[in-house]
Structure 1
Amino acid sequence: MKFKFNYFPFTPRREQDRFLSDARTAINNGEILIAQAPTGLGKTSASLAPAVEYALHNRKKVFFATSKNSQHKMAIKTLRLIKEKFNLDLKVISLVGKQHLCPLITKKVRNFNAFCDVRRDSCKYHNNHKNQTNRAIKEIFDTPLQAEDVKQICMEYGACAHEVLTSIVKYADVVVCDYNHIFQPSIRELVLKGMELKDIILIVDEAHNLPQRARDLLSDRINANVIKGAIEEAKVLEYDRLEGTLTNILLFLRELVTDLDEDDEKYVDKEAFIQEIERITTQKLDDFIEMLHDVGIDVLNLGREFSYIERMAEFLNRWESSNGQFCRYIRDLELCCISLDPGILTQDVFSKVYSGILMSATLTPVHMYTELLGLPERTIEKEYRSPFPRENQFIVVTPDVTTRYVKRSDEMYQKYTDKIVGVVNVTRGNSAVFFPSYEFMNRVFEGLNGQVKKRILMEQPSMTKEEKEDLLNEINGDNSVLLLGVMGGSLSEGIDLSGNLLHSVIIVGIPLIPPNLEVKSLVDYYENKFNRGWDYGYYYPAMNKILQSAGRCIRSESDKAAIILMDERITWDKYRRCLPVGFYGLRLVDPSGSIDKFFEHHFG
């Protein structure tokens, strides 16, 4: 059935109308559209509107999957606008992690599913949810709600929000969810409950994150502290034999690293490891894993929120069930089982959904993501230009500086400090600097402190959602802040800095990952499968982190900002070719004087 309805809630802008048309065509033809579309194009509304148009009149269901809380909220806001503007009977639900919906949790629980399973029979919300479901559903379906609003409604009715939501997925027209809900097989089975992928229009937002997220879902790692925790649990339960067995497994782990220096690593053979575990335990690995699961329940029944023994069972199960597309290694008493192929999870999903849209501002090159994710032949690849005036942004590369390890010195750190100070102090408004690592950021910070004319705010490793929001709130309403962050960190993507909050963004270096065993395995695997090992496994991922960080400043057609790439390697061919069309023609320029003219022109 072709489109007879138009539920797009705005007047399409330049380039946005192309995206909207391509999305409608792809959905109508049952195709997969993978689109690189710049920040500010309006991808959320331009993908949701045609998906809703088709789904409501063709018995399809829309799943909007995103890895970022800010995009989750934007999708709900957009759907509310569509429903109200066109007076639609549109049923929308917002699915987030099970733990985030639980009113009994005040802090993060490391293995919430096991925690919940043990307490299910005594949970007042679980036992009450069937009696209160209908009353809660009416409010949930009345208007598209954010997850925290759904949680509050269910609390008021004494119902389990997670059970209410998963029970009504089949009645919803649109489900806004996390990647896990559609790409993690066991969670997908729980969510769909008999529904088929062929009836789903799948939209994947921030799709550049999907390959790594899929690999993470398949990967696992365990360290000596987990085994020590398991030994302590066995001691508390007075399971003496298990305590001895776990102690011997810890000794085996230590033997594996006796020939390694600190921070060194080595491959671990899958079958040889299994054989040694079976020798230590005197039983088949499957039987040992089953026993660990049972004991893990005993630990949780003691009232603990987490079981190290259960955690060991999960890791050993992953180790045994993983196939050849994995890198297995040990480093610093941490044993790792890392997936190399995201397509193991994604290929089957995209081959079965009715239609799909994958979109991001940093899908460079688009065909790489098509290959990595195993997208089917019905996939259409598209790239869109920025709808914003080119004169509103000033992009240059700074000469004479690089973060190459062999070039790092006190002199080089000082050069970076001087050049950053020069740019920040002529920027008329807030600035942000993104570094390749926390170590590099801290080193340069020592020189910046006291020299810049702005208040410095710094990203910290493993920031909580609340800490990140507090930091961003400090920027709002201030016009003299210098934000320091790390490429690939909490602040380089997935945050909303709208309203031209940043007038300059400085990118320090290229965030290349040290070529460790995981990277080498990834490069080798992609070379064998795609003949593009170093590109797909090394260069493009680093350059896409640069693009994500650079995208923090230009968020609308009225925003104006300078982007300074501080590493001369950016102009080298192997790096420059990784950049999209908007970055072509880069010049090596000492930036401070040129930027002063840019700000004089735009801000007077």
Structure 2
Amino acid sequence: MEKRVTISVRELVSYVYRGGSIDERFQSNTALVEGTAIHQEVQGKYKEEDEKEVFLQYEFDQDGISLNIQGRCDGLLRTDEGVVIDEIKSTARELEEIDEHSHPVYWAQAKGYAFMYATQQQLQHIEVQLTYVQKSTKEKKRFQQRFTHQELAMFMDETIAVYSSYAKILLYIREQKEKTIPELGFPFPNYREGQRKLAGSVYHTIEEKRNLFAQAPTGIGKTISTLFPAIKALQLEGTERIYYLTAKTVTRATAEEALSKMKELGLQLRSVTLTAKDKICFQEETICQPEYCMFADGYYDRINGAIIDILINETQMTRSVLEEYARKHRVCPFEFSLDLTDVVDVVIGDYNYVFDPRVSLKRLLPEKKKKTALLVDEAHNLVERARDMYSAVIHKHSFQAILDEWGSDNGKLLKSASAIVKDLERIHLNGGSHRKLDDIPGELEENIERFISAAEAILQEEAVGEQSEALLDVYFQSQNFVKILELVDDHYRYIGESVNDDFTLKLFCLDPSHVLRQTTKSFRTSVFFSATLSPFAYYKEMLGGTKDDYILQLPSPYEASQIDVMITPLSTRYKSREQTARQLVERLQHQAVEHPGNHLFFFPSYHYMEMVYHEFRNTSDLDAVMQEKGMNEDRREDFLAQFVEGGRLIGFAVLGGIFSEGVDLRGDRLNGVAVVGIGLAPRSFEKELIKEYFNQKGRSGYDYSYVFPGMNKVLQAGGRLIRSEEDSGAIQLVDDRFLSRKYMQLLPEDWGNYRILR
């Protein structure tokens, strides 16, 4: 087996020369390496004979390993004194704060390019230049050093010598993976009906670098049917990594279980599960600064040892494993998990690590995306999540608070905040309390950018405190707004909302399909799958699908006789709820008696649920429990743990909430489900804008805005019942509208054998 490792110059020198602490006073310490527009502006002023984005590579042989080092230097300048390698870095810091020795990693990166070019051109010496550009002022500061080829060769030899021990570990884990994947068989004795077809479709989709939209019934085993073929596809040339993306923690655990199952059969690859920073942080407050957090202090001095330790000793880097090694090596568990994404084979995490433009992994560079397959679980959730990710708001009171809290000595900050308040007040005065705006003042964007620049300057120096924390919040709010503003087109609407003396300006994404398509096209493959991509055409369109994408709709593998489907034509409309409450309770009690065991009853709101729950408790001897607002993970687990085999417990829960999808109560732990209402969201200004937008596009705006998202909640809740071939039970749909043609055609085929309860 060829012992060859390919690595970029940037990755090489970052591993060898990084050091110091995490200090996210206003952004991560990697934020200096950014600014495509700034790079292009500097490169645009190069002379005609100069070159930009020059690809360079060199092969090193070290301890029996071939190291292929490659990268693109920003500029190759031709001067009277000879060639100059130019490395461009943008910075939010004031240029007078930066000296020649500020960033050893940047010099190391530039020297790597210089060595490769000097070797290629047989130069005896070469100039190396660092060009810093201040992001706000666009001022530049340059440093130059002259190196002989011999000096650069010695530097690279020393760098490679340090890296080679790590390279051996990477080769070892790669050899384990490449040996065990071909030997891996499907981790169950037999495929369920439809599983083989789904698995084959996923593999061929990755092989052909296409996208797939797959609707596979609940209980078919979608996680193993997508992960298994994707792992087999890691043998294909140009496929190096899998991102398994989910909306909920419980589905991440299912992916971990699938990997464990394959590990039992001998599979040896590395995976990491990403957990939100505020959940995995060891400190009471998530303040990523060395003076506050011992796990941030000196992080980059210790992280290499932590990575080597965990890679040698673990294959599945779940939250608990990460926490164990993070404490052992005294490193931040969140940043630790992010650093591991560069070297593992499977990354399990939330949608936002790929799709959210504000928090997506910047380390997932274009060349890595081309070698990455995305598996998007419960993809129906991504439509609304994407709307949120690609929308942004600013509040007048946030900037007013800055004016009230900061002293007059912060002139630039106060001047820009005051200008933003005045801009928002002008919009505020020109209309009603909640309205669509035709446009926003151009100067507002300029004032927000000035505020961001002024806030950055302060946050660089400011110690942690309530005042700086408040400024940090407004800074990020402003950054997000400007970032989303760059995306605004005819898929967006400007919304103004006045509440008391405050005014909120929102950039509202009506249709996220365009931005989702732009995101996924940079990856090798995207597989969107769910039990409820229904109606299929709607979800394919909203998730950014094209006519070239593959589609797969699998029928239910279960017998219709496993489900007793009942439709109770009772009005659950808001105005009818009190009058029909007693009748509804009787129907629910009848279901619980006719189908002894555990049941989950789902309601469209907390208020409605509480009203029926109390009536149920007053008129029945059956044990009942009710979902509480704001339940944390422990309380959720306690709630579900009450549903034991052989029990007779009635659970009251909210439709579209934490218990209506992703919950897996197999066998006798759940014997019946009732869904009260058709899942329609209350009418709102934003929903009406979505309706209007799709009407203008020739679609049924009401269906796109209300019906399809609502019925998806119904289907997901009903899907809690049948989780395996052995499961059976009752589903009761309570609402007279379920018998109308519009809703009837949205019900799954295996719910078609229903009976009507009068």
SS at match of 1:369: helix
User: Partner residue of 2:309?
Assistant: 136
1:71 is the counterpart of 2:251: yes
CA distance in 1 between partners of 2:409 and 2:580 (Å): 57
CA distance in 1 between partners of 2:752 and 2:425 (Å): 50
SS at match of 1:20: helix
Is 1:257–1:330's contact at 8 Å kept on the other side of the alignment? no
User: Partner residue of 1:444?
Assistant: 612
Q: Aligned in 2, Cα 1:252/1:29: closer, same or farther, shift over 3 Å? A: closer
Q: How far apart are 1:365 and its partner, in Å?
A: 1.6
Letter in 2 for 1:582: D
Residue among 442, 451, 455 paired with 1:288:
451
1:51 is the counterpart of 2:230: yes
Q: Aligned in 2, Cα 1:523/1:313: closer, same or farther, shift over 3 Å? A: same
Q: How far apart are 1:40 and its partner, in Å?
A: 0.8
Residue among 86, 91, 94 paired with 2:273:
94
User: Partner residue of 1:581?
Assistant: 749
Number of residue pairs matched by the alignment: 569
Letter in 2 for 1:266: R
SS at match of 2:539: helix
Letter in 1 for 2:406: A
User: Partner residue of 1:484?
Assistant: 652
Q: Aligned in 2, Cα 1:194/1:351: closer, same or farther, shift over 3 Å? A: closer
Q: How far apart are 1:426 and its partner, in Å?
A: 3.8
Q: Which aligned pairs between 1:39-438 and structure 2 lie closer than 5 A?
A: 39-60=218-239, 61-85=241-265, 87-104=266-283, 106=284, 123-124=296-297, 126-139=299-312, 142-185=314-357, 187-193=359-365, 195-222=367-394, 226=398, 229-231=401-403, 233-234=405-406, 242=414, 249=421, 256=428, 265-272=434-441, 284-295=447-458, 301-302=464-465, 307-314=472-479, 316-317=481-482, 320-324=485-489, 325-327=491-493, 328-330=495-497, 332=499, 333=502, 335=504, 336-399=506-569, 401-405=570-574, 407-408=575-576, 410-438=578-606
Q: How far apart are 1:43 and its partner, in Å?
A: 0.7
Is 2:567–2:732's contact at 8 Å kept on the other side of the alignment? yes
CA distance in 2 between partners of 1:59 and 1:83 (Å): 23
Moved more, 178-187 or 232-241: 232-241
Q: Aligned in 2, Cα 1:345/1:319: closer, same or farther, shift over 3 Å? A: closer
Cα displacement string for residues 506-545 of structure 1 (whole angstroms, at most 9, x for unaligned residues): 1111221233221121122223346242222221110001
TM-score by length of 2: 0.68
Q: Which has the larger radius of gyration?
A: 2
CA distance in 2 between partners of 1:130 and 1:446 (Å): 55
CA distance in 1 between partners of 2:359 and 2:413 (Å): 35
SS at match of 2:261: helix
CA distance in 1 between partners of 2:629 and 2:487 (Å): 30
SS at match of 1:38: coil
1:508 is the counterpart of 2:668: no
CA distance in 1 between partners of 2:202 and 2:367 (Å): 24
Q: Aligned in 2, Cα 1:121/1:322: closer, same or farther, shift over 3 Å? A: farther
CA distance in 2 between partners of 1:389 and 1:477 (Å): 22
Moved more, 186-195 or 438-447: 186-195
Letter in 1 for 2:186: F
CA distance in 1 between partners of 2:647 and 2:663 (Å): 18
Cα displacement string for residues 105-161 of structure 1 (whole angstroms, at most 9, x for unaligned residues): x36x5xx7xx56996899236244335234433256x32132232122221121233
SS at match of 2:621: coil
Q: How far apart are 1:351 and its partner, in Å?
A: 2.2
Letter in 2 for 1:284: N
User: Partner residue of 1:594?
Assistant: none
User: Partner residue of 1:595?
Assistant: none
Indicate the structure with greater helix content: 1
Q: Aligned in 2, Cα 1:18/1:221: closer, same or farther, shift over 3 Å? A: same
CA distance in 2 between partners of 1:284 and 1:254 (Å): 14
SS at match of 1:124: coil
Indicate the structure with greater strand content: 2
Name the % identity: 26
Letter in 1 for 2:639: L
Is 2:244–2:349's contact at 8 Å kept on the other side of the alignment? yes
Q: Aligned in 2, Cα 1:380/1:238: closer, same or farther, shift over 3 Å? A: closer
Q: Aligned in 2, Cα 1:410/1:301: closer, same or farther, shift over 3 Å? A: closer
Letter in 1 for 2:541: E
CA distance in 2 between partners of 1:216 and 1:356 (Å): 21
SS at match of 2:723: coil
1:541 is the counterpart of 2:684: no
Cα displacement string for residues 63-90 of structure 1 (whole angstroms, at most 9, x for unaligned residues): 11111111111112211221330x2331
Is 1:218–1:339's contact at 8 Å kept on the other side of the alignment? yes
Q: Aligned in 2, Cα 1:97/1:457: closer, same or farther, shift over 3 Å? A: same
SS at match of 1:421: helix
Q: Supply the RMSD in Å over aligned alpha carbons.
A: 3.3
Is 2:393–2:477's contact at 8 Å kept on the other side of the alignment? no
Is 1:34–1:379's contact at 8 Å kept on the other side of the alignment? yes
Q: Which has the higher contact order (CA 8 A, sep 6+)?
A: 1
CA distance in 2 between partners of 1:540 and 1:571 (Å): 16
